[in-house]
Amino acid sequence: MPTRRALLKTAALAACSAAAHPLLSTMTFASAPGENRLVVIVLRGAMDGLDVVQPYGDPALRALRLALSAGPEGGALVLNDFFALHPALDGLMPLWQAGELAFAHAVATPYRDKRSHFDGQDLLEAGTGNDLPIDQQKGGWLNRLLQAMPGATAETAYSVGTEEMLILSGSAGALSWAPEAALTLSPQARLLLAEVYHDDPLFRDAARAAEEIGASLTGEMGKGPKGDAARLAAFAADRLNGETRIASFSLSGWDSHARQAQVLKRPLGDLATAILTLRDGLGANWARTTVLAMTEFGRTARENGSGGTDHGTGGALLMAGGAVRGGRVYGDWPGLGEGQLYQDRDLLPARDVRAYAGWAMRGLFGTKTGLIERAIFPGLDLGPDPRILA
Amino acid sequence: MAIDPERAAIRLGYGLSPRMPPAESVFLLESVAQATHPDGWTTTAATAAHLDFAEIRQARDEGALSPEDYRAHVQELEGQRLDALRNRIARAAGAPAGFGERLVQFWADHFTAVAQNPTQHLMAAAFVDEAIRPHLNGRFGDMLFAAATHPMMLIYLNQNASVGPNSQFARRRPEKHVGLNENLGREILELHTLGVGADYKQSDVRELAELLTGLTYNPKDDRRFRPQVAEPGAETVLGVPYGDGLPEIARAMGNLAMHPATARHLSRKLATHFAADDPPEALVADLAAVWLDSGGDLSAINTALVAHPGLAATFGQKTRQPFDFIAASLRALGMGAGEILALERPQVRQHLLVPMQRMGQPFGKARGPDGWPEHAADWITPQLLSARIGWALSTPQRLIEPFPDPRAFLSTALGATVSETLARAVPRAENTREGVAIVLASAEFNRR
């Protein structure tokens, strides 16, 4: 029997030949897989879930955090009688009120104890367990979802930005594009390049596809919003309004070891901007969209001596979109009191973050649970349906 | 027929230069000897930087160091990484014949070891200087031993965490569940020597991993082998029994290096890198024969490769990887090692480091121990090709003074290999910047 390692290898090899196909075939959209849309935002650097969704109803929180995460008294926005939202995400409150924003708290990947950003992100994107060394895990879970989607074409999934997105790598064709890759060529240079690439199919097709992507961007995008988050999200929305159904990009800056109150303002602002840009850009399609913003792990329950927090374990997952059953914080609360923390330092993970992603794809794309537990998130126990979709 | 000097420079080096004619094959081989000289990065310096940085982090955490001062330290370390890239590009673009530096790229990629924090980048640079360069013309078995036992590799492939289950160390700590980590042993067989398709078993992986126990890197301890961590007793790898200790590990590396599967695997890999994604079988077979006859003598293999008719027959079938593309562009634009070494760190970041990332090859950050992909289609995607075109349009005019005439540049960069189509197109560009960019962005210049 082939080992899983061997299977993963085969998938990695197949990626080479899949990549050899011309990437864009704008004619073949006959069987695009449905109308539902999934956006996965990877929050690189470990977002402090306890500060973003503050469990002010847990009396132990105040003892752990001296200045940070002060709940409604510190300006956090009341979500319910237990949780409050970091004030820098106030732009998202209308979504919460409209039932288009939700969180799952005390979630984690299976990654434990070493608390390395790189390994943690690799595992988050690979979507696998701990049964195989991280650097031997090939391919990402969104790519395996694509492989399981009937009628998927290269255009079905997009990774956006210059960050390499392991989450979409693998044998199924997917497109990638960075808004800053758009070329400003004079018409004459464009013509001449088309001429010199004409006899080399590899270069000809790649250049033509680059030009089509660039040219197909809606008018406002070129001069549109400034800032990476807005540009990434605007591009993703643009694609999702077309044939694309899955998009992924990453936002960085979450590693808040010191002066967290200041440090988190920018990434939280970026996250809010990205989600609001997606909503605005998607228009009517927002109703069929689910956004999952996930991070490699949470941070220490205790504030450190520099006004920050260090690498931890359990964290929070943000879910947004018209397809989400919002206005709630999902998950069982493990508590922050004596004996309730993981290794007496971190929020104890109550549920595997992959279970939420798994149930989202079950609801959005009809992916069979057996397939999710076997192939997309191998070894995952999906558990009961948290019913995160409206 | 052996390849002509112009095509040889494009295939085996970093292409053509306005400063010097393409080298004859004897000079190609001399360039390997030049590339064996180190660049000045050492394990000692990387270790000192690591210990130093640990103290700085502690000082920051204790509030004894301001966040600004801490950031300055991190920036200095990042700056040294920029220096390492700048030096590599300078040596590649500036060498009279770049074959030696191409081999540095090849073997450093073959033994990929990815740095995961700022000080490890210095160790990664030391790895190239200490494990790769000295052995470019030597025995593969020596390079293998140097690479597999280097601190950078021990860190990257988790050898530091590997403990013989019956070692003194493990027996004294029954509560700690320390044990074997097979990662390095597995990658030595699968990637570095025999190849994944070869006839070896899980038991060989395990026995090799047991043989490797004791290899260690501790920044506070100069010893590279700690017998109390080593698994006691004989280990049998591919039917050969080995005893304990470093000399036995060296003997195992020597035997693996001369194994027929290693000869086939690495001959194919060399042929794939230098000739074609799907290389001529005769080239693979001829290199493998030299490998076995010479006992893995890389100077003999380099000589055989340079002289092989398979190189001329497959001209243009490979795509330059982003590092090679940038080095070849600067070389064709007339920049020498001196001018590249004179670049300020912000320029290195803007013109070399960030563009390489956009082109899909972030410096020193391959995704896994199998290194960068070889196939042209992995590098020429819409996004990655756009990054090359964008670089060709924006960077040369910021670095090159006086700027070349595109018509002259066409023949400087491609010599007699230029196609009629490109020769017709370039003079019709509406300005010199775009004319030069069309040469650099052309399929011909991006292929070799």
Same domain, B242 and B345: no
**Among B220, B212, B222, B232, which residue's Cα sits nearest to residue B169?**
B232
Check whether residue B343 and residue B427 sit in a common domain.
Answer: yes
Yes or no: say if A78 and A72 are a contact pair by the CB < 8 Å rule: yes
Say whether pLDDT at A27 is over 60: no
Q: Flag whether pLDDT at A1 surpasses 70.
A: no
* Predicted confidence (pLDDT) at residue A54 exceeds the cutoff of 80: yes
Question: Closest chain A residue to B64 measured between Cα atoms?
Answer: A306
Q: pLDDT digits over B342-376, tens only?
A: 999 999 999 999 999 999 999 999 988 999 999 99
Residue B401 reports pLDDT greater than 60: yes
Q: Please say whether the beta carbons of B92 and B31 come within 8 A.
A: no
Q: Please say if the pLDDT value at position A7 is more than 80.
A: no
Count interface pairs A-B at CB distance under 8 A: 129
| Whole-number pLDDT of residue A169 | 87
Among chain A residues, CA nearest to B425? A192
More confident residue, A19 or B40: B40
Mean pLDDT of B374-396: 93
Residue A26 pLDDT > 70 = no
Q: By three-state DSSP, how is residue B429 classified?
A: coil
Query: Is the Cβ pair A189, B430 closer than 8 Å?
Result: yes
Q: Of A257-266, B192-201, B417-426, where does mean pLDDT reach its minimum?
A: A257-266
Task: Summarize pLDDT for B46-95 with one digit per residue, the tens.
Answer: 999 999 999 999 998 888 999 899 999 999 999 999 999 999 999 999 99
A-contacting residues in B 423-442 (Cβ below 8 Å): 424-426, 428-430, 434, 437-438, 441-442
Residues near A129 by beta carbon (within 8 Å), at least 6 away in sequence = A110, A378, A379, A380
Q: What are phi and psi of B69, to 5 degrees?
A: -65, -40
Report how far residue B447's alpha carbon sits from residue B374's, in angstroms, rounded to the nearest whole number.
13
| For range A149-158, the mean pLDDT | 86
Q: Under an 8 A CB cutoff, do B386 and A210 touch?
A: yes
Last residue of a domain, one of B257, B273, B297: B257
Is the pLDDT at B30 greater than 50? The verdict is: yes
* Whether residues B435 and B352 fall in one domain: yes
Question: pLDDT tens, A337-390?
Answer: 999 999 999 999 999 999 999 999 999 999 999 999 999 999 899 999 999 999
Distance CA A307, CA A266 (A): 17
Percentage of chain A modeled with pLDDT above 90: 63
Res B174 pLDDT > 90: no
In a domain? residue B151: yes
ipTM comes to 0.93
Is residue A204 pLDDT above 50, yes or no? yes
Which positions in chain B touch A181 (Cβ < 8 Å)? Answer: 358, 382-383, 386-387, 390
Cβ <8 Å between A188 and B428: yes
Model pTM? 0.79
Instruction: State mean pLDDT over A226-253.
Output: 88
Q: Which residues pair with B237 in a beta bridge?
A: B240
Question: What is the reported pLDDT for B365?
Answer: 92
The β-bridge relationship of strands A157-160 and A175-177 is parallel
Domain count, chain B: 2
- Subunit contact A202:B443, Cβ cutoff 8 A: yes
Buried b (16+ CB within 10 A) or exposed e, A64-98: bbeebbbbeebebbebeeebbbbebbeebbebbee
Would the CB atoms of B380 and A199 count as touching at under 8 Å? no
Q: Residues A294, A357: contact at Cβ < 8 Å?
A: yes
Is the confidence at residue B306, as pLDDT, over 60? Answer: yes
Kind of pairing between the strands at A37-44 and B235-237? unpaired
> CA separation (Å) from B216 to A80, A116, B186?
53, 21, 17
pLDDT of residue A137: 62
Give, as one character, the DSSP assignment of residue A307: S
- The distance in angstroms from the start CA to the end CA of chain B is 18
B29's CB contacts (< 8 A; 6+ apart) are: B99, B299, B302, B303, B306
Phi-psi domain of A226 (left: phi exceeds 0; alpha: psi -120 through 50; beta: other): beta
Contact B375 A138 (CB under 8 A): no
Question: Using CA atoms, how far apart are residues B416 and B404, in angstroms rounded to an integer?
Answer: 18
Average pLDDT for residues B288-300, to the nearest whole number?
Answer: 97
- CB spacing of B63 vs A306 below 8 angstroms: yes
Contact B167, B229 (CB under 8 A): yes
Residue B52 lies in a domain: no
pLDDT at A171 over 90: no
* Nearest residue of B to residue A18, measured between CA atoms: B377
B-chain residues within 8 Å CB-CB of A164? Answer: 360, 362, 367
In-domain check, residue B241: yes
What's the confidence (pLDDT) of residue B67? 86
Burial class (CB in 10 A: 0-12, 13-18, 19+), B30: middle
> Is residue B352 domain-resident?
yes
Could you read off the pLDDT of A112-123 as tens digits, one per residue?
A: 988 888 788 989
- pLDDT for B26: 80
In a domain, B118, yes or no: no
B358: chain A residues, CB-CB within 8 Å? 162, 178, 180-181
Domain membership flag for residue B67: no
Chain B closest-CA separation from residue A264 CA (Å): 16
Cα separations (Å) of A286 from A149, A160, A317, B350? 21, 18, 19, 37
Question: What tens digit of pLDDT does each residue of A280-328 get?
Answer: 999 999 999 999 999 999 999 999 888 899 999 999 999 999 999 999 9
pLDDT for B310:
95
Q: Read out DSSP for B335-378?
A: --HHHHHT--HHHHIIIIIHHHHHTT--TT--SSTT-S---HHH
**Does residue B312 carry a pLDDT above 50?**
yes
What sections of chain A are H helices per DSSP?
4-20, 49-52, 61-64, 93-97, 117-126, 141-147, 187-197, 201-216, 219-223, 228-240, 260-263, 265-282, 353-365, 369-371
Q: Which long-range contacts (CB under 8 A, 24 or more apart) does B221-224 make?
A: B224/B149, B224/B151
Q: To the nearest whole percent, how much of chain B has pLDDT over 70? A: 100
What average pLDDT is seen over chain A? 85
- What pLDDT is recorded for position A215? 67
Contact assignment for A189 to B438 by CB distance below 8 Å: yes
| Residue B159 sits in the same domain as residue B240 | yes
B393 to chain A, any CB pair closer than 8 A? The answer is: yes
Please tell me whether residues B251 and B151 are part of one structural domain: yes
Domain's final residue, options B228, B257, B286: B257
**pLDDT, averaged across chain B:** 94
CB atoms < 10 A from the CB of A178, how many?
A: 21
Q: Are strands A77-78 and A84-85 parallel, antiparallel or unpaired?
A: antiparallel
The residue count for chain A: 390
Report whether pLDDT(A186) > 70: yes
Is B357 part of any domain?
yes
Residue B132 belongs to a domain: no
| Of residues A384 and B196, more confidently modeled | A384
More confident of the two residues A231 and A360? A360
Q: Over 50: is that where the pLDDT of A23 sits?
A: no
Question: Closest approach of chain B CAs to the CA of A98, in angstroms?
Answer: 37
pLDDT of residue A226: 45
- A200 burial (CB, 10 Å; 0-12 / 13-18 / 19+) is buried
In whole angstroms, what is the distance from residue A185 CA to residue A190 CA? 6
Of residues B375, B382, B437, nearest to A206 (C-beta): B382
* Overall average pLDDT of the B390-418 stretch: 93
- Residue-range definition of the domain harbouring residue B207: 139-257
Of B257, B280, B295, which closes a domain? B257
Q: Mark yes or no for CB contact B369/A135 under 8 Å.
A: yes
Q: Note whether B249 and B165 are same-domain residues.
A: yes
Residue A17 has a pLDDT of 32
**What is the per-residue pLDDT for A211?**
82
